[in-house]
Amino acid sequence: MKKILFVIAILAVLSPIANAQSLEDPKGEIRLNFLNTILLGSVEIGYDFFVGHDQSVGVELHLNDRFGYSSSSGDRSFSATSVLVSYNFFFAGDDNGKIYISPYFKYRFGDFTDVVDNITEVTSLNSGYLGLIGGYRWNYNNFAFGPFAGIGRGFSEPVNDKFSAVEFKAGFNVGYRF
């Protein structure tokens, strides 16, 4: 709950700054992965800094992060946070919406606790990922929203042994350009 209140506070502080800008030449965008917040309870907030009309550098913070869509139920629990950095290329569209593709690097830190045969196992999730995200982003009156999917390769043997070396991710972002 504290994490969600923190995200709301950041959005409230950035809102007056965003209102002072025009849609014609956005400098940045803040966004929330709305779908995963509802389905998984994972708060994924991001910021894009536009370096050109069709390119941006993105940074995301994933609170209560999980490996892919693995559940956190019963005797299984995730306690992880991730930071994701991407370079986004927008193409094949107009000012109302574009397809984008983003190579990324993600670093997850935290752990996964699982009880197997009454023995508590803790797996360190500290690991880096390289991957690619693709999606579509519609723009309407400074609001940007759209679906995305991504695939990444992890480089941690303990995580790969417990889960998989390949992680799939998808969602629906809702954001504001300023």
Report the mean per-residue pLDDT for the chain. Answer: 87
Residue with tokens 């790969």: 160
Is residue 22 scored above 50 in pLDDT? Answer: no
Is residue 177 scored above 90 in pLDDT? Answer: yes
Is residue 45 scored above 80 in pLDDT? Answer: yes
Q: Which two structure tokens, joined as six digits, stand for 74? A: 């019963």
Q: In CATH, what is the architecture of 2-177? A: Beta Barrel (2.40)
Q: What is the reported pLDDT for 165?
A: 94
Q: Which amino acid is at 170?
A: A
Is residue 14 scored above 80 in pLDDT? Answer: no
Q: What is the reported pLDDT for 174?
A: 98
Q: What is the reported pLDDT for 21?
A: 44
Contact 113, 74 (CB under 8 A): no
Q: What is the per-residue pLDDT across 129-152, written as a single tens digit (0 to 9) for each? A: 999 999 999 999 999 999 999 999
Is residue 117 scored above 80 in pLDDT? Answer: yes
Considering the chain, what percentage of its residues have pLDDT values greater than 90?
66
Please provide the size of the chain in residues.
178
Helix H, strand E, coil C: the string for the chain is CHHHHHHHHHHHHHHHHHHCCCCCCCCEEEEEEHHHHHHHCCEEEEEEEEEECCEEEEEEEEECCCCCCCCCCCCEEEEEEEEEEEEEEEEEEECCEEEEEEEEEEEEEEEEEEEECCEEEEEECCEEEEEEEEEEEEEECCEEEEEEEEEEEECCHHHHHHCCCEEEEEEEEEEEEC
Contact 121, 108 (CB under 8 A): no
What spatial distance separates the first Cα and last Cα of the chain, rounded to whole Å? 27
Q: What is the reported pLDDT for 115?
A: 87
Is residue 20 scored above 70 in pLDDT? Answer: no
The model carries a pTM of 0.82
Q: What is the reported pLDDT for 155?
A: 95
Q: Where in the chain are the domains?
A: 2-177
Contact 157, 8 (CB under 8 A): no
pLDDT class for 72, splitting at 50, 70, 90?
A: low
